[in-house]
Structure 1
């Protein structure tokens, strides 16, 4: 098995087998990330497919300054945020009870110890949820998140602060 940097170089030069292998290796990771962002299996699958298509279309633009998985997360994050901006319906959909129940079922089977936190996270708008997941679940720095989302670092800081504040309020509400 070739290491990732070699596969990336082959893929950039047009080797479709190398690109296919990179996408295969990162599929589960990308799907899990998309599921956390969208909190819906079907939407997560759509995001993964769209991300793969964008990666295929733009592989020559990947500069290799980060891991391939980081580049995929960046693409997926922008896709999710762009979709949210375009659709007011989406914002309403995010707060519907069936959405929360469906996600709770999906995640509770794996994360029984924190369903209230997951439910509170589901209530956050995507522009708060995405940076929180990237920072606290995936461990990216604010600067890395800023680069991924093409948003100033100060904006990321304020979104993290506002999102954490809302999560705390939501969790206090669950305790009472």
Structure 2
């Protein structure tokens, strides 16, 4: 059964289909949220709230993008709300990486994950999110713009400034 069929069944109230949909996309959401928060405990709270919101709002989902894109958008909004409530950025702590994540990009090729993570930890959330969505999840500019709710030009600009900052920091080191 393809994703669209599962989504349609979930929208019709099939709890098993909804459960399968959430389980199939859980690791993508969790990986993204861990990277964006840098804190596994905070990430778990955000993921749980995002999954709950997705389950409660499944009937509102329109499949113009992948389901995982919709989940990531929900997770991003939950995290933004958390930041607003706390009125401060949650600083990223060292991510407990299993070593499965590698950044392979012409600009920062062969730079270890931990070096890049330490550099992007210091960046504002908006730049961090764009970088992670583009370079760890290979989302297109249009998808990132949809997830973050900003124009494509803003996505490109944030990514450009983020990469310039990474290069400058690597050269400084």
TM-score of the superposed pair, with normalisation by structure 2: 0.85
- Residues matched between the structures, number: 163
Q: What is the rounded CA distance, in whole Å, between the counterparts of 2:85 and 2:169 in structure 1?
A: 27
Identify the residue that residue 108 of structure 2 maps to in structure 1. none
Q: Deviations over 1:60-107 (max 9, x none)?
A: 111111111111111112222232233333x2x41xxxx54x33xx13
TM-score of the superposed pair, with normalisation by structure 1: 0.84
Q: What is the rounded CA distance, in whole Å, between the counterparts of 2:165 and 2:87 in structure 1?
A: 21
Q: What is the rounded CA distance, in whole Å, between the counterparts of 1:135 and 1:124 in structure 2?
A: 15
Kindly state the Cα deviation for residue 122 of structure 1 after the two structures are TM-superposed.
Answer: 1.4
Tell me which protein shows more helix as a share of its residues: 1
Q: SS of 1:164's equivalent? A: helix
Q: How does 1:3-152 map to 2 (within 5 A)?
A: 3-89=2-88, 91=89, 93-94=90-91, 99-100=92-93, 102-103=94-95, 106-107=96-97, 109-110=98-99, 113-152=112-151
Query: Does the CA contact (< 8 Å) of 1:81 and 1:127 recur in 2?
Result: no
Q: What is the rounded CA distance, in whole Å, between the counterparts of 2:70 and 2:114 in structure 1?
A: 30
Q: Deviations over 1:104-151 (max 9, x none)?
A: xx13x5169332111112111111110111112211121211111111
Change (3 A) 1:20 1:148: same
Query: Does the CA contact (< 8 Å) of 2:46 and 2:78 recur in 1?
Result: yes
Q: SS of 1:53's equivalent? A: helix
Regions of 4+ moved over 6 Å: none
Q: What is the rounded CA distance, in whole Å, between the counterparts of 2:162 and 2:78 in structure 1?
A: 20
Q: What is the rounded CA distance, in whole Å, between the counterparts of 2:79 and 2:165 in structure 1?
A: 21
Query: Does the CA contact (< 8 Å) of 1:48 and 1:76 recur in 2?
Result: yes
Change (3 A) 1:19 1:143: same
